[in-house]
Amino acid sequence: MRGQGLRQEVRAREAPLGKPYWVLWTAGAISFLGDGITFGALPLLAASMSRDPRVVSLTEAVTGIGWLLLGLVSGVMVDRWRRTTTMWIVDAIRAVVAGGFAVVVLLGQESIPLLLITGFLLGMLAPFFDNASAVVIPDLVVATALERANGYNQAALVLLANLIGPPLGAVLFVMHHGLPIMVDAISFAAAAVLVFLVRRAAPARAVSPDRNLGRELKEGLLYLWRHKLLRSLCLLLLVANAVGAGIIAILVLYVLEALHLPEAWFGWLVATYAVGGVVGAALAPRLARRLSTFTNLIVSMLVLGFAVVVFGVVSELALIIAGAVLMGFGSTWWNVISISLRQRIVPAALLGRVTAVYRMVAFCAAPVGAVGAGFLAHRTDLRTPYLVMGLLQLAATLAFAPLIKRELSADSGSSG
Task: Provide the 10 A C-beta neighbour count for residue 176.
Answer: 12
299 versus 202: the higher-pLDDT residue is: 299
DSSP 152-171: HHHHHIIIIIIIIHHHHHHH
Backbone dihedral region for residue 260 (phi beyond 0: left; psi -120 to 50: alpha; all else: beta): left
Q: What is the mean pLDDT of residues 4-22?
A: 62
Please tell me the distance from the alpha carbon of residue 182 to that of residue 100, in angstroms, as a whole number. Answer: 9
396 versus 259: the higher-pLDDT residue is: 396
> Per-residue pLDDT for 217 more than 50?
yes
Instruction: List pLDDT tens digits, range 125-183.
Output: 988 998 898 899 999 999 889 999 999 999 998 888 878 888 888 888 888 888 999 99
Contact 217, 60 (CB under 8 A): no
Q: From 394, 403, 356, 361, select the one nearest 126 (Cα to Cα).
A: 356
Strands (E), 322-392: none
Answer positive or negative: Cα dihedral of 281, 282, 283, 289.
positive
Q: Among 125-139, 141-155, 286-300, 351-365, name the one with the lowest average pLDDT.
A: 351-365
Q: From 206, 196, 222, 198, select the one nearest 80 (Cα to Cα).
A: 206
> Per-residue pLDDT for 363 more than 80?
no
| C-alpha 27 chain-centroid distance | 16
pLDDT for the residue numbered 13: 53
Please tell me the distance from the alpha carbon of residue 114 to that of residue 415, in angstroms, as a whole number. Answer: 54
Please tell me the distance from the alpha carbon of residue 337 to that of residue 325, in angstroms, as a whole number. Answer: 18
pLDDT for the residue numbered 1: 38
Counting beta carbons within 10 angstroms of the beta carbon of residue 408, is it exposed (0 to 12), middle (13 to 18) or buried (19 or more)?
Answer: middle
Q: What is the mean pLDDT of residues 280-293?
A: 94
Contact 114, 243 (CB under 8 A): no
> Per-residue pLDDT for 206 more than 70?
no
> Per-residue pLDDT for 416 more than 90?
no
Task: Provide the 10 A C-beta neighbour count for residue 217.
Answer: 18
Please tell me the distance from the alpha carbon of residue 294 to that of residue 405, in angstroms, as a whole number. Answer: 6
193 versus 208: the higher-pLDDT residue is: 193
Please tell me the distance from the alpha carbon of residue 290 to that of residue 303, in angstroms, as a whole number. Answer: 18
pLDDT for the residue numbered 12: 47
pLDDT band at 209 (very low <50, low <70, confident <90, very high): low
> Per-residue pLDDT for 3 more than 50?
no
Contact 41, 181 (CB under 8 A): yes
Please tell me the distance from the alpha carbon of residue 92 to that of residue 233, in angstroms, as a whole number. Answer: 34
Q: What angle is formed at CA 360 by the lines to CA 279 and CA 184, rounded to 5 degrees?
A: 60
Nearby residues of 365 by Cβ (< 8 Å), 6 or more positions away: 237, 238, 239, 241, 242, 245
Topology of the domain comprising 16-201? Growth Hormone; Chain: A; (1.20.1250)
pLDDT band at 291 (very low <50, low <70, confident <90, very high): very high
382 versus 50: the higher-pLDDT residue is: 382
- pTM, two decimals, is 0.82
What is the dihedral angle through the alpha carbons of 371, 373, 374, 380, rounded to the nearest 10 degrees?
A: 140
Q: From 352, 33, 79, 319, select the one nearest 212 (Cα to Cα).
A: 79
> If you average pLDDT over every residue of the chain, what do you get?
86
pLDDT for the residue numbered 255: 83
How big is the chain, counted in residues?
A: 416
Where exactly does CATH 1.20.1250.20 map onto the chain?
16-201, 212-416
What is the dihedral angle through the alpha carbons of 159, 119, 150, 16, rounded to the nearest 10 degrees?
A: -90
Please tell me the distance from the alpha carbon of residue 214 to that of residue 361, in angstroms, as a whole number. Answer: 19
pLDDT band at 281 (very low <50, low <70, confident <90, very high): very high
Please tell me the distance from the alpha carbon of residue 92 to that of residue 94, in angstroms, as a whole number. Answer: 5
Q: What is the mean pLDDT of residues 371-388?
A: 88
pLDDT for the residue numbered 342: 93
The CATH label, of 1.20.1250.20, 3.90.420.10, 1.10.10.10, 1.10.287.990, for the domain at 212-416 is 1.20.1250.20
Contact 337, 284 (CB under 8 A): yes
